[in-house]
Chain A
Amino acid sequence: MRRRAALLAALLALPGFAQDRELPPPPGAPHEFKLPSRETVRLDNGLAITFIDYGTVPKVTLVASVRTGNIDEGRDTWLADVTVEMLKESTTTRSAADIARAAAGMGGALSIGAGGEQTTASLSVLSEHAPAAAALLADVLRNPRFPESELPRVLANFERNLAVARSDPQTLADEALAKLVFGEHPFGRVLPLEGQLAGYDIARLRGFYERNFGARRTHVYVAGRYHRAALEEALRSAFGDWRAGEAATDLPAKPSEELQLALVDSPEAPQSSVRIAVPVPDPPHPLYFQTSLMNSLLGGTFGSRITTNLREDKGYSYSPDSSIRPRRGGALWVLSAEVTAEHTAAALTEIFREIERLQREAPAISELDPVKNYRAGVFVISNSSPAGVLGQLAFMDLHGLPGDFLSHWVANIRAVTPEQVSTMAREFIRPERMSVVVAGDVAGVGGSVKALPQFAGARMP
C-alpha cells in the first residue's frame, strides 16, 4: 500500500506524466480452455500407462517414471545417480553408441536421470517411431548390462561434477540448507563425501537396481500425436512381462521445525547466497492452495513483494525468488537470493520485513486478484504442451492427488481470500521454525548476520 502511493507520487513528479494518463485497453472475454483428455491402463504386473492426446505436430513424448531415486540411497549419496547413468552405458543387446544413434534416428535423445523420489527416462520422437521408442525405453530400463569397463569413466565424470559443485557458492548454500532441514534423511545429503563415490562398484549398482526397479513402481506417460493401438501394443509387449518388483519406499522426510542458522564460508565472495526454508503443507493438504497463492504474492513472481523490494527498490539482488518445494510429507517454502555481499544483513532484514507485513495485514483485493490471474494464466500455459500435461499428471500421481485435481485447480486458487493469505503467512512462514543459510565471505558478513534479532537463540550447528 505504502509503496503504491509512493510510486504514484513519483509518477506525478515526472515531466510528461499528467493526471490524464492513458489507461491500458481492458482484456476481452477469456477463451475456453479444456484440459486434454487422458486415459490410464494398468498391466497385470502393476505397471501403469497413461495416454494423453494433445497437440497438432507429429511428435510424441514418452516418459517412464520409476518411483525410486535418492530416497532409496540410505547413506550412499548419489548411488541412485550413478546407477541410473550406467543404464545408458549399454543393454544386453545395445552399446551406448547404439542407444544414442537409435534415439537420434527417431528424432530424439534419450534422457535419463534420478531425482529425489522419481527416476525418469524420457524420449521425444517423430510420431511414426512411437512403437520403436517404447521398445528402446523398455530395453534401457529392463536390460542394463552394467559394463565394468565403463564404470571408472562414469565415476570420474561424477567426481568432476562434484568438484565443480563444491566450488559453486550457490550449490554449497543448497547443500547446507538440505542438511539443516532434513538432517540424516537421504534428502539431507546433497553431495557425497570425499572418497565416497570410489566405493560404488558394479555389485552395489546392481543391488540398487535390483531392489528399486520394477513394473510396480513404474508409470509410463505418453503425450502427443500417435497411433494409439499400435503404441499400446508396443508398450504392452515391451513392459508386460517385466518383473513386478518391490513397492515404492515409504520414507517421508520430516523437515526441521527449529530455528537454525548456518554460515558457509566462501572467502572474498562478491555475493552472499541466502537460503531460508520453513515447512508448509504438502499438495494433498487442504491448505495447499492457500499457501501456494501466499507464496506467489510474497516472493514467487516477478511482481511479488520480496522481488520488488530486493530488486526494484534496493538493487541488492538480480533474481530473488521463493517457491514451494513439494516433497512428499515434507513440503518446504524456500527463499533463494544471491545478494551483494555488503547488503547481506540488510537484505535479510527486508525479507523479514515483508514476511511480517504480510502476517500483520491482509493484502488488498487489488493486489491479490492480479496474483490469482497470474496463477490461472500460468496454469493454462503449463497445461498447453504434451510435456506440460505429462509433468502435471506425474506430479499428481506422486502425491496421490485426486483425478479432478487439475479440473478444480483454478477454482481453488480463485477461492482464496486475502485474510487466508495473511493467515498462511502467520501460520507457516514463522521465523522461529526457519532454517537459514548464508554462504559468502563469513569474515565480512557473518557478524552482522548473526546480530540480526530474528536469529537470537538460533541453533548454530
Chain B
Amino acid sequence: MTGRQFARWGALACAAALAACAAQPPAAAPPVPGPDEVVAATPAPPAGAIDIPIEYYRLGNGLKVVLSRDVTAPTVTVGVYYHIGFRIEPRGRTGFAHLFEHLMFQGSGNLGKMEFIRLVEGNGGVVNGSTRFDYTNYYQIVPAHVLETVLWAEADRMKALAITQANLENQQGVVKNEVRDNVLNQPYGGFPWLTMPQVANTNWFNAHNFYGDLADLDAATLADAQAFFDTYYAPNNAVLVIAGDFEPPVARAWVEKHFGSIPARPQPARPDLAEPVQQGEKRDAYVDRLAPRPALALAWQVPERGTSEHYAFSLLDTILLQGEDSRLWQRLVQERGYAGGVGGGINLLGNEFTYDGPMLWMLYLVHDPGATPEAIIADIDAEIARIQAEPPTTEELARALTKLRASLYDLAGSSTRFGLLDLLASFALFDDDPGLINRLEADFRAVTPEQISAVARVYLAPGRRTVQVVEPGRAQPAPAGGAP
C-alpha cells in the first residue's frame, strides 16, 4: 500500500456483499496454453441478470488477461494482481509481502523511484497498491488515452526490480509508520482483522502477524527482495485486468507487445494452508493501551470457497450480519443497545470471493463495561440457534438476494471499477474463470432456505468458534486531553 487515494489498508470497512466460488488447488506449475489461447468464454447469463462483457485469454508466457469493455466514461482501470499475498510470506520475515509491495514503487528497469507514480498522476490518473491474504495488487485508473503508457509501465516492473539499499531503508521507515498509523497508535488498531487470525488459526501461514513485527521488517534485505521478486512476480503467477474505455484489438496488441516477451518462471508448490476443523472453543483476551471501552469479536471457519455450502454461508452472513435490517444488528444494536453497530463478514479485507484458502467469518463490536461478553454472546447464540432450527422466511431470503443484485449493479456501474477489478482478478487467478461474475446471481438463487440452516448448524457450532476480548487499557481521559 502506497497509499492515500483510497481506503487505507486495515480499514475495518467490510466490503462483503457478495459470495463464493470454485476453489481449485493451485497446481505447482500451471499448464501454459498456447499464445493468446482463449481459455474461457462467457456463457449466456440468465434472463435479466447482470451481464458484464468479459474476454479472457493467456499470453504464451502464462500471463492471464481479462478485458472488460465499458465506454460509459472515457477512463480505463488497469490492475495487475500477483498470486502472492501476506499469507505465504517467508517465515522470519513477517510483513514482507506488504513491504515488498512498497518496493514495487521504488524502481524498475526503466523507471526510477517515484517515477511510476509521477507517470500515472502526471497523465491524469490515480494509483495505488494493496496486499491481501492471497494476492498483491497494483492498480490505476487513468484517462482512456493513457492506456498504453500504463501497460508499458506495469510491464516494466514485471520485468525487473531495481532498488537500492537506501530505497529499501526508506520504505522500511514508511511501512513502520504505516503500522503505527493503523495499529500501534490507534485505539482498537488491527482489531479484529489482524488480531483474530493469530488466535483462531493454527497453521502459521494463516496465523502470523500479516502487517509484520517491526524487528522482522527491519531484518529484510535486498537479497530477500530480489528472491521474492524472482519467485513470485512472474507473468505465469499474475493476471492483468483492463476494464473501461478501450478498443479490444488494440488493447490485445499492446498487451502482447509489452508483456509478451517476459519469460515465464517455474512456480514453487503452494504450501499447505489447510486449517484443521476446530475442536473446542478458544478464548483470548488482550489489553489495548489506547482503548477506552471493551470490545468483543467472534470468529468461525467458513466452508470451502466455491462449494454450494459456501454460497449458502454467504447468504447466511447477509441475513445474520449485513446491514441494519440483519438479525444480529436488530438484536444486538437495536434491541439490546450493546453497541452503535456490529461489523463483520467473510474476509474483512475484501469479500467472500477475494481469497484463496481457509477463511474466517467474524463479527465484532465495541461495547460498554456494563455488558459482559457472556451476555452478548448469549444473544448471539440465541440468533444462531434460531436460524439453525428454522430456515429463513421466503421474504427474508428474497431481501438478501435483492441486496446481492444491487451490489452487483454497483460493481458494474462504479466509475473507478475497483470492485469489478477485484472480482475479475480473483476469479481469474484463483478459479481460472472470470466469467463466474456473470453466474453469481444464478448460483445464489439456487440456494434453498434449508441449506442456509444446515450450514449454520455445521459451521456455527459453539465448539468451532474463537472468542477474542479487548480489555480497555485506560479509562476515558479528561475532556479535551490537555488541548487549549
Binding site for B on A (CB under 8 A): 7-8, 10-11, 14, 16-17, 21-33, 55-59, 96-97, 100-101, 103-110, 124-126, 152-153, 156-158, 160-161, 163-164, 166-170, 172, 175-176, 179-180, 191, 193-194, 262-266, 269-271, 301-303, 307-308, 311-319, 321, 338-340, 369-371, 373-374, 376-378, 380-381, 384-386, 388, 442, 460-461
Contacts and interface: CB of A to CB of B under 8 A. Distances in A.
Interface in B381-430: 398-399, 402-403, 405-406, 409-410, 412-416
Nearest to B288: A167
Contacts of A307: 4
B124 A378 contact: yes
Contacts of B479: 166, 191, 193-194
Given A10-B113, A24-B110, A164-B291, 4 more contacts: A175-B480, A271-B185, A311-B174, A385-B413
Contact of A316 (B112, B123, B173, B290): B173
Contacts of B290: 167-169
B162 A315 contact: no
A329 to B, nearest CB: 23
Contact of A176 (B73, B245, B484): B484
Nearest to B258: A25
A378 B126 contact: yes
Contacts of A31: 74, 143-145, 245
B8 A7 contact: no
Contacts of A460: 484
Contacts of B124: 373-374, 376-378, 380
Given A29-B145, A265-B481, A302 B162 contact: no
A338 B184 CA distance: 12
Interface string B59-87: 00000000000101111000000000000
Contacts of B156: 22
Given A57-B413, A264-B482, A316-B177, A302 B172 contact: no
A16 B481 contact: no
Contacts of B72: 55-56, 384
B119 A319 contact: no
Nearest to A264: B483
18 contacts: A10-B164, A27-B149, A31-B74, A58-B409, A100-B325, A101-B399, A124-B406, A160-B367, A164-B366, A167-B291, A191-B479, A262-B483, A271-B180, A303-B122, A308-B114, A319-B8, A377-B126, A381-B73
A59 B145 contact: no
Contacts of A108: 406
Interface string B464-483: 00000000001011111111
Interface residues of B, number: 98
Contacts of B33: none
A22 B324 CA distance: 54
B207 interface: no
B284 interface: no
A33 B178 CA distance: 37
Interface stretch (B24-32, B261-269, B333-341, B356-364): B333-341
Nearest to B182: A318
Contacts of B171: 315
Contacts of B474: 167
A104 B399 contact: yes
A339 B174 CA distance: 10
B185 A312 contact: no
B481 A166 contact: yes
Nearest to B150: A24
B368 interface: yes
B141 interface: yes
Nearest to A312: B114
B330 interface: yes
A16 B293 contact: no
A460 B483 CA distance: 11
A337 to B, nearest CB: 10
Contact of A303 (B118, B405, B482, B483): B118
A17 B405 contact: no
A153 B337 contact: yes
B126 to A, nearest CB: 7
Given A167-B476, A315-B171, A340-B173, A377 B142 contact: yes
Nearest to B398: A105
A340 B321 CA distance: 38
A107 B405 contact: yes
A180 to B, nearest CB: 7
Interface in B319-370: 323-325, 329-330, 334, 337, 339-340, 366-368
A106 B401 CA distance: 11
A303 B143 CA distance: 18
